[in-house]
Amino acid sequence: MKLYQNEISSATSRVRIALALKGLTAEALPVTILGENSESRQAGYRSINPQGLVPALLTDSGVLITQSLAIVEYLDEIKPEPPLLPDTAEDRAQARSIALAIAAEIHALLPPRIGLHLGKVFQADADAITAWNRHWVGEGMAAVETMIGGRRQGAFAVADQPGIAEIFLFPQAISARRLGFDLARWPNIAEIVARLEAIPAFRENARTPRR
Ligand SMILES: N[C@@H](CCC(=O)N[C@@H](CS)C(=O)NCC(=O)O)C(=O)O
């Protein structure tokens, strides 16, 4: 397998964590994502992934899978142990709800293309873009905290083992900390993140200095 990726991409971190939990490896194919002239905006990479985003996983049979949730679920299917989804249908739905609340409602408002567009069309400077990022992270993580607290049954967000919910939660929580948030304001998230920081697959694979 090959993984189109970027070192500072939080969406890529999700896939790296899943690979590490599964004991799988993928050859890293770096794609730059910052600035107007990044590789993610060039025709070359767009001909591979029309969305111009990382991560994108090239399977051993040459199929490209885009979107981190689809990639993580693919990895779970090709190597079922350890499972990344909980035992019951309701818990699996809860895990996917948390993952999507992060991927679709928080992170989607933060990547470089959003900041570039805010700057170009609305003249937002670096401070304004940081304020934008803090707004969506603060509001979104507060909602995720309530979602987790409402149904939490185990040591982690949904169960006693980390899985898809934590794979999405952890890089976003690290980004929130880098944006100046004290995770203690979200007690369930803070406790879960502290547990995840003790697990090498999480600790060593969430490199998200910018978002
Ligand atoms: N929903 C996508 C998000 C992918 C995404 O936004 N990736 C960012 C890096 S974290 C990216 O490639 N950004 C390029 C850009 O914004 O121009 C996923 O979960 O894979």
pLDDT tens for 143-181 read 999 999 999 989 999 999 999 999 999 999 999 999 999
For position 121, which CATH number holds? 1.20.1050.10
Are 127 and 121 contacting, i.e. CB atoms less than 8 angstroms apart?
no
Are 9 and 32 found together in one domain? Answer: yes
In a domain, 141, yes or no: yes
Decide: residue 35, CB within 10 A, 0-12 exposed, 13-18 middle, 19+ buried. Answer: exposed
Are 76 and 28 contacting, i.e. CB atoms less than 8 angstroms apart?
no
DSSP annotation of 197 reads H
Residue 210 has pLDDT above 80, yes or no: no
Q: What is the Cα gyration radius of the chain?
A: 17
3-state helix, strand, coil in the chain (%, to 5): 55, 5, 35
- Can you tell me which atom of ligand 1 is nearest the CA of 8? 10
Which of 56, 78, 100 finishes a domain?
Answer: 78
Are 95 and 62 found together in one domain? Answer: no
In a domain, 180, yes or no: yes
Give the mutation target among 37, 42, 53, 75 for probing the ligand 1 site: most ligand atoms within 8 A of CB.
53
Total structural domains within the chain = 2
* Minimal-distance CA residue to ligand 1 atom 10: 9
Give the structural domain span for 60.
2-78
Are 93 and 73 found together in one domain? Answer: no
User: Who lines ligand 1 at CB under 6 A?
Assistant: 6, 9-11, 33, 40, 53-55, 67-68, 103, 111-113
Each residue's pLDDT tens digit, 34-92: 999 999 999 999 999 999 999 999 999 999 999 999 999 999 999 999 999 999 999 99
For position 33, which CATH number holds? 3.40.30.10
Are 7 and 99 found together in one domain? Answer: no
Distance 88 CA to ligand 1 centre (A): 30
Which of 47, 78, 109 finishes a domain?
Answer: 78
| CA distance linking residue 57 with residue 136, whole number of Å | 28
Are 73 and 93 found together in one domain? Answer: no
